[in-house]
Structure 1
């Protein structure tokens, strides 16, 4: 009886219902095209011409070359259907109303961001190379370069969880949470209890979670449950049973803002595996950064801008500024620049930030990432840095969360190892941290993976730091993690059978569509 109940529950789960509906639509679409071809002889020629036109469009398009290739191969393999499938599902679609809303929100963000050009000018005088990197982030992510901000690097999910609870308990005015995954369990339940108490006490509590990210971890309509507790809630890009690629654009950010002057970001979602309360793929290694001071405004604006888009409302931004509720000024070392990246502006901010760090490195680049599914630009940058004598090291998981993604990650090892890049796999389990540390001067801690989804399709965020105490903490944590990891040699990378090599090659070709 228990097995039967579980089976019935699975069959009627929203994921199954939506998946079956989408598959039926795809099948119907293919059958319809086949019938269309039978009745109209000229349709074959029209569809072929359409496929040729789509291929020519892709060749001249500004999108990533690997993404183009991943589409061109199936289009040329199935020329009758391929072009039409790309026209219908090959890129994200925004309605005219949505585009206008996003444009207006972008203008509002620019208007409310403070003038931090003195910080940029000062950094350029201290270090022109660092100044140019910060200037790029300011220009294309509308994220000011900040000082007067303390940073605390949090090397494990358990530490972030404890620090987050401590800061949430102190909230007096507002709490903003934006997370890709929320799951009922120890971590979320303890946080939720604090949120419920704070909302009852009059604190403005708001939550955004991604629908696909939380689809297997939260019941349908969970936002209404939170609203009944006095917690305002928005679900990002709700999944509906319609065949469309607009669901590729997910909210992968992890943001917590408390009273405008305390903020968290990093790789850690609100689920129990992130604090090792449950074991999914061995020990879960993840990281976060805690900010206090003026740089938290960048995170606040990221949250409020998306909230305005989802809720179709406008907030008075001035009341949320850091200095409004900050008890006393914060003076700290270095520069801090939290930034966001969105998939709708044709500017791959996250990837460019990473490339700038790699290309300007003089001594070392140390990277942790759960995925290593990178385009030619990133492969070239990492390889050239290593060939030039820069100590390039990357730590990836040893235990995979998705076997096919891990296979693609390993498909890049041989090329990078041949160039002199050192690669390590975190043998205790799964490393979900997304960190860069360079030359004891720069670090980035955030949500941006080294894969196509993070770099091109998702809403992401990160924190760029220059000469803050946390930079050396990120370095030390990398070295500690490396000590628990197995180095992959070129011989090991090459020691695979022909079937594995073939499978990895195929997966690598279609990696941008995964």
Structure 2
């Protein structure tokens, strides 16, 4: 069996495929000379020369290997189109503008994002590896850690919605909302009624949603309707009728900040399926957290960073910062540490992925994961497998009823490889899992918007909270165990019996996995 597996890797490995594609390209060039004559030959030679130069650049640039491989295959298979498209993507002014503005805004905010030396010292005395991770998130992700964390976990969208309404009703100063999906219905109409009333009471309301909403969920001029109600409103990267690469970088964050002292994040958008008011893919399993205290400043600054990309005047950041003392909330889990952090596709640093990798690589007893998608690069795949090989209990809960069938077909291609190494795969039989949750060793957890796919890890603006030694970890893990009882464990036999056509389709989709 091992010999067959080795032969499979040789025949279908990257080196073999690249050599084969180079050979095919040589045949095409030769055929062009024989059939179409000198003019086409010159064009082929010119594109071939540019292709070699670009391939040399791709091989040496800092980028995930899966993206490199995708571009290499594209350029080798269709050199003229591949070269033209690669050059086009690199010359996009929109991408460069957003990248530059994000860097400028981070510099503006830095005075409010200084780490607390006392917090880092306390963590260092307890655990040097944890101190190193917190230092990394600040140095590369620009967000500091906070002690005396105050967190509440919501195992379902309905739970978060109820608390969200209660907190919105109490707003006195300002409300910031930033969501990937907004759709009119019970959830959004309820929120909008409160926002409209709060504006009349003198509360500042800013509302930002991603431009993909204008495709089918909201009217094109919906932001103008919000402005007419007194709500400051922006569409992040509106969809345009022409091809631009920066439209691939969506704002996938879900952030609600109230008066600077309360924030929400997690997988839950502002649409009825997220609270099971509307059934789309069976029961919708999603999660969120509420954070209180100084740690909310990180979420406030994440929001203002995105809001001010298109602004020319400097923001009065101090007006929105929480400067009070952290108060213990009886309804919250208090203690330990929390780092709310964002992830940008333009900083050449995969903070979201590296936090996940750190959890996998340092786990001693278990790592439990809930994610809607399993489209892995080699780093994550190897880390998951290595954790299981070290004897760590690795369990992953995925949807049984997917929202995107192509993503499910691709995820299935990883099942057998993971199961063979001791990873336990479960599918949530009542419906769809949209939660993005990691827990480990009863002391670490992440709740946020970051999926285990290329789009979340490399292409989108994302956010999450890393929590360490706060009692809320026990709540998250308890919810994982309850969810597990509603799941089917996937066996090798299940993998073998899966539809052959979908198996082949999933394997083929790996070629374009970085776009999914």
TM-score by length of 1: 0.89
- Per the alignment, residue 135 of structure 1 pairs with 135
- Per the alignment, residue 218 of structure 1 pairs with 218
- Per the alignment, residue 153 of structure 1 pairs with 153
| 8 Å contact from structure 1 (residues 181, 271) kept in 2 | yes
CA distance in 1, matches of 2:135, 2:509: 37
RMSD: 2.0
| 8 Å contact from structure 2 (residues 223, 233) kept in 1 | yes
Counterpart check, 1:492 vs 2:494: yes
Q: Identify unmatched segments of 5+ residues in structure 2.
A: 1-35
Q: Are the structure 2 counterparts of residues 178 and 465 from structure 1 closer, same or farther at C-alpha, using a change threshold of 3 Å?
A: same
Counterpart check, 1:270 vs 2:265: no
CA distance in 1, matches of 2:77, 2:300: 47
Query: Any idea what SS the aligned residue of 1:75 has?
Result: helix
CA distance in 2, matches of 1:457, 1:93: 17
Match 2:448 to one of 428, 446, 449: 446
Alignment of 1:17-96 (within 5 A): 42-89=42-89, 93-94=93-94
Q: Tell me the CA shift for residue 52 of structure 1.
A: 2.3
Q: Tell me the CA shift for residue 93 of structure 1.
A: 5.0
Q: Are the structure 2 counterparts of residues 279 and 91 from structure 1 closer, same or farther at C-alpha, using a change threshold of 3 Å?
A: farther
Q: Are the structure 2 counterparts of residues 360 and 213 from structure 1 closer, same or farther at C-alpha, using a change threshold of 3 Å?
A: farther
Query: Any idea what SS the aligned residue of 1:206 has?
Result: strand
Greater alpha carbon shift after TM alignment, 49-58 vs 158-167: 49-58
Q: Tell me the CA shift for residue 503 of structure 1.
A: 1.3
Counterpart check, 1:414 vs 2:394: no
CA distance in 2, matches of 1:407, 1:488: 14
Q: Are the structure 2 counterparts of residues 203 and 195 from structure 1 closer, same or farther at C-alpha, using a change threshold of 3 Å?
A: same
| 8 Å contact from structure 1 (residues 147, 294) kept in 2 | no
Q: Are the structure 2 counterparts of residues 195 and 484 from structure 1 closer, same or farther at C-alpha, using a change threshold of 3 Å?
A: same
CA distance in 1, matches of 2:167, 2:178: 16
- Per the alignment, residue 259 of structure 1 pairs with 259
Query: Any idea what SS the aligned residue of 1:215 has?
Result: helix
> Any idea what the Cα deviations from partners look like across 1:365-408, whole Å, max 9, x if unmatched?
00000000010000100001101100000000000101111101
Alignment of 1:419-438 (within 5 A): 419-438=421-440
Counterpart check, 1:468 vs 2:470: yes
CA distance in 2, matches of 1:145, 1:363: 25
Match 1:336 to one of 335, 338, 357: 338
CA distance in 2, matches of 1:204, 1:147: 29
Q: Tell me the CA shift for residue 111 of structure 1.
A: 1.9
CA distance in 1, matches of 2:511, 2:56: 19
| 8 Å contact from structure 1 (residues 253, 459) kept in 2 | yes
| 8 Å contact from structure 1 (residues 181, 214) kept in 2 | no
> Any idea what the Cα deviations from partners look like across 1:173-208, whole Å, max 9, x if unmatched?
000000000100000000000000001111010011
- Per the alignment, residue 457 of structure 2 pairs with 455
- Per the alignment, residue 177 of structure 2 pairs with 177
Query: Any idea what SS the aligned residue of 2:340 has?
Result: strand
| 8 Å contact from structure 1 (residues 264, 289) kept in 2 | yes
